[in-house]
Amino acid sequence: MLGGWLVTACTKTNDKPYVDVFLAGGRPWQLASQQVSLFYGDTLKRTDTLNRQCALNQVFDFDNDGTCTYQNYGCISQEVKGTWQMSPEDQPPVLRSNIVCKDGSATGSSQPFALTKIINLGQNSLVLESTLRDTLRKVPNVVLRSTVVRYAFIH
């Protein structure tokens, strides 16, 4: 028993969580699909798949030093840089990134990955989910409107 303890006590542990290493494994993530779902309360009103006809590759690249790059967000030719961090203690894990991308919104830009849940992270697939909530109406009952965006990436 003492020998087993000595062997395990001398093994080196990795300081970075496994999820971080898997996410920033040196290979960029290419967007495979982007789906937007609109909910009124708990009722699904509409689901759209975006950028079906996009000829540009949308690529999200995470570096081990905490920086990231996104190319061609929203099928607009661009390369934006920023930082990223993980909260693996949250369930599901949360990805935060400060990148600001041009898009087709009224403001002309957004932070699509400011607070995204990691729904799936595998060796060759990554699914991120972002939810934006606001109030649709307050009278006679409060009805919340939610826009859920799912990004599916592959290597």
Cα(121)–Cα(124) distance, integer angstroms: 8
Percent of the chain with pLDDT over 70: 87
138 pLDDT exceeds 90? no
Higher pLDDT, 15 or 119: 119
Nearest-5° angle of CA 27, CA 31, CA 34? Answer: 150
What global pTM score does this model have? 0.82
- The answer to whether 125 and 154 have CB atoms below 8 angstroms apart is yes
Residue with tokens 């697939």: 125
CA 107 to each of CA 6, 102, 130, 134: distance values in angstroms, whole numbers, following the listed order: 60, 9, 18, 17
14 pLDDT exceeds 80? no
Banded model confidence at residue 12, pLDDT cuts 50, 70, 90: very low
Which one, of 46, 135, 118, lies nearest residue 84 by Cα? 118
What is the rounded radius of gyration, in angstroms, for the C-alpha atoms of the chain?
A: 19
- The answer to whether 110 and 101 have CB atoms below 8 angstroms apart is yes
Do you find a cis peptide bond into 140, omega within 30 degrees of 0?
yes
